């Protein structure tokens, strides 16, 4: 059997455009002499469609698109992923794969297992199918699965088990090959994990497994592609490229391919794709961001330049009375290294002084301290939004995961923007990524190392008061990032983390409390591009108003005596 894979980049809701992608893939597969073409999960509507499915006419348009595709198949079989309406179930829709050939749909498989953890909410929309599907194509019996039917949550950080075993049931029904339609969001290292799962399953059942993946980015989710064929012996027989659309005939036996890849290489390419597709799919060509001379804005600007072209990235320097000469020089060096569009310099001193005077008249001494520091950040936010309005360029927020976690960021100031480019990257990893980009600048598409040495070597500082450093407020980033990763990404309790002998108990409890209190900020934040198993955003819907002492030894630390509703812990960047 001659099998082709269509690794496609759909836009959510663009039924016509997505259908054209499939039709183009059919033409390419026919030209390569394929007997069968397989597409990703829900490719006709794009993944994840979320509540767009409820909009009148959307699912019906997808069903009509499948008929159009069937009309174009000819002798070739095409397996296309799409939603379809369910008229007699508890949920309104099916997540389906239709097998099309010679102008008709010859059979339909409905997904049986639905993830409801992390960013997934498929159990909100879809009725589970109740049967396996094995179809004969070119003399081979093909078993169909859709995403979670194959993974069963084993590729994710999720405590989830299912009674059903779709792989086993499909094999028991008698098949020569398993094909799985997938839309699996990217996480650093996840590709290697899912391939190992496929290899183990293929060896166990003694049958080849083919997984086709979506590529591209939609909102916060990034899809890396790397559709893969694993032979019956568990060896990787073929794999499509990462980060790009591809339609290609694949081999089911014969090769042995490695999928090992540098985590920094994965992280960089994922963020570039996330920025590119967010802008491209929303019809925006340009972006605006503040350049402070610090590491975060330097990394974010470099990623934006790689995604959109440096000529479409405007960096705005907004020095205050506390900004160092070195920071301005580092920002200008970054501008030159990247070849950015002309970056204006707008000192905020006059605006800061005017607001300061008004507030001091009414607040007196209370106008100083955090109040004054946040004023500076919010002045910068206003200037960036002004440039955004004038240039039709989206503002990019440059904060990292460590800052977003602890609230070391200012609402309506440096938090303003369409997306947080590195909002799922802790500070220590931002430094690691910057060094990697400089070492691999040619591979990243730059003419020279983009990040100035000063941005990497100087102590991180918001520069909102004299001689300020981040560690005046936050723990050392090596310590903070371990706490953030354990508390957020691994869901360890404060007690579990505080019990570690190398961490100070009071520091852990203070930091986890800061993380909880900052939820009200995160609920108003820009979209965070997801690259870890647990990112801030849709996949972590925490309450804002809560008083949860479970797992917190507050009676030992004195936290219980503090006012938990206090929102004065508004640190800033």
Residues 6+ apart with CB under 8 A from 338: 301, 302, 305, 310, 313, 446, 450
Tokens read off for 171: 């094999």
| Residue 571 confidence (pLDDT) | 46
b/e per residue, 26-50, with b = 16+ CB within 10 A? bebbbeeebbbbbbbbbbbbbbbbb
| Residue 256 confidence (pLDDT) | 79
Rounded CA-CA distance 281/9 in Å is 11
CA-CA distances (angstroms) from residue 323 to 319, 326, 331, 332?
Answer: 5, 8, 12, 14
Rounded CA-CA distance 521/311 in Å is 32
- The residue extents of the domains of the chain are 3-259, 269-474+520-537
Residues counted in the chain: 573
Q: Annotated catalytic, 147? A: yes
One of 62, 86, 111, 570 is an active-site residue; which one? 111
Nearest C-alpha neighbor of 306 from the set 345, 340, 329 = 340
Instruction: Identify the CATH number of the domain defined by range 3-259.
Output: 3.60.110.10
Q: What angle do CA 175, 177, 182 make, to 5 degrees?
A: 120
Side-chain-side CA neighbours of residue 435 (13 Å): 7
Rounded CA-CA distance 158/111 in Å is 19
Low-confidence ranges of the chain (pLDDT < 70): 548-573
Rounded CA-CA distance 405/487 in Å is 10
Architecture of domain 269-474+520-537: 3-Layer(aba) Sandwich (3.40)
Rounded CA-CA distance 311/55 in Å is 38
Q: Annotated catalytic, 41? A: yes
CA-CA distances (angstroms) from residue 212 to 38, 251, 278, 373, 413?
Answer: 7, 13, 23, 50, 42
| Residue 565 confidence (pLDDT) | 33
Upstream peptide bond of 311 is cis (omega within 30 degrees of 0): no
Residues 6+ apart with CB under 8 A from 210: 3, 5, 38, 177, 178, 179, 180, 227, 228, 229, 230, 250, 252
Rounded CA-CA distance 537/222 in Å is 14
| Residue 318 confidence (pLDDT) | 97
Tokens read off for 18: 């997505």
Three-state SS at 39: coil
| Residue 462 confidence (pLDDT) | 83
| Residue 266 confidence (pLDDT) | 97
Rounded CA-CA distance 529/278 in Å is 10
Q: How far from the centroid of its chain's Cα atoms is residue 89's Cα?
A: 32
One of 100, 147, 191, 246 is an active-site residue; which one? 147
Q: What angle do CA 223, 229, 230 make, to 5 degrees?
A: 120
The sheet carrying 228-230 orders its strands as 134-137, 140-146, 177-182, 209-213, 228-230, 236-239
| Residue 546 confidence (pLDDT) | 83
Confidence (pTM): 0.94
């Amino acid at each position: 059997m001659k099998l082709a894979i269509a690794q496609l980049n759909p836009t959510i809701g663009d039924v016509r455009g997505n259908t054209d992608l499939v039709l183009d893939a059919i033409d390419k597969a026919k030209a390569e002499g394929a007997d069968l073409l397989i597409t990703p999960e829900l490719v006709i509507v794009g993944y994840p469609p979320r509540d767009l499915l409820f909009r009148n006419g959307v699912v019906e348009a997808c069903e009509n698109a499948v008929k159009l595709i069937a009309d174009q198949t000819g002798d070739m079989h095409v397996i296309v992923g799409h939603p379809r309406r369910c008229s007699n179930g508890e949920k309104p829709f099916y997540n389906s794969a239709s097998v099309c050939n010679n102008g008709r749909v010859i059979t339909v498989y409905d997904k049986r297992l639905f993830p409801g953890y992390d960013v997934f909410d498929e159990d909100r929309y879809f009725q589970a199918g109740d049967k396996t599907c094995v179809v004969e194509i070119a003399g081979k019996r093909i078993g169909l699965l859709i995403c979670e039917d194959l993974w069963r949550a084993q590729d994710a950080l999720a405590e989830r088990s299912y009674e059903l075993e779709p792989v086993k049931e499909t094999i028991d029904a008698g098949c020569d090959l398993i094909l799985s339609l997938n839309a699996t969001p990217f996480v650093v290292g996840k590709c290697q994990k899912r391939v190992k799962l496929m290899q183990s399953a293929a060896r166990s059942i003694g049958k080849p497994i083919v997984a086709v993946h979506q590529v591209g980015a939609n909102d916060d989710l990034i899809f890396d592609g790397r559709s893969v064929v694993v032979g019956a012996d568990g060896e990787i027989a073929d794999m499509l490229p990462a980060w790009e659309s591809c339609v290609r005939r694949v081999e089911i036996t014969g090769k042995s391919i490695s999928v090992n890849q540098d985590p920094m290489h994965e992280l960089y390419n994922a963020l570039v794709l996330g920025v590119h597709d967010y802008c491209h799919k929303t019809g925006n060509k340009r972006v605006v961001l503040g350049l402070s001379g610090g590491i975060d804005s330097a990394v974010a600007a470099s990623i934006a330049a790689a995604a959109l072209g440096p000529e479409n990235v405007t960096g705005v320097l907004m020095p205050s009375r506390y900004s160092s000469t070195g920071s301005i020089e580092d920002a200008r060096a970054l501008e030159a290294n990247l070849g950015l569009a002309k970056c204006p310099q707008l000192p905020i001193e006059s605006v800061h002084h005017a607001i300061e005077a008004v507030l001091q008249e009414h607040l007196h001494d209370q106008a100083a301290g955090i109040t004054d520091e946040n004023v500076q950040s919010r002045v910068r936010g206003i200037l960036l939004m002004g440039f955004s309005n004038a240039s039709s360029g989206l503002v990019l927020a440059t904060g990292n995961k460590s800052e977003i976690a602890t609230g070391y960021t200012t609402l309506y100031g440096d938090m303003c923007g369409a997306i947080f480019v590195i909002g799922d990257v802790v500070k220590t990893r931002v430094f690691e990524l910057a060094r990697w980009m400089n070492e691999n600048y040619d591979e990243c598409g730059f003419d020279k190392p983009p990040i100035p040495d000063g941005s990497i070597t100087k102590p991180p500082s918001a520069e909102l008061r004299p001689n300020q450093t981040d560690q005046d407020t936050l723990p050392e980033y090596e310590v903070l990032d371990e706490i953030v990763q354990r508390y957020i990404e691994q869901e360890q309790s404060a007690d579990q983390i505080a019990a570690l002998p190398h961490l100070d108990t009071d520091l852990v409890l203070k930091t986890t409390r800061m993380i909880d209190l900052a939820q009200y900020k995160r609920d108003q934040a820009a979209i965070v591009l997801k690259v870890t198993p647990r990112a801030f955003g849709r996949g972590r819907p925490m309450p804002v108003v809560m008083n949860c002492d479970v797992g917190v030894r507050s009676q030992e630390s004195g936290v219980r005596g503090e006012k938990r509703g206090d929102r004065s812990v508004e640190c800033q960047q």
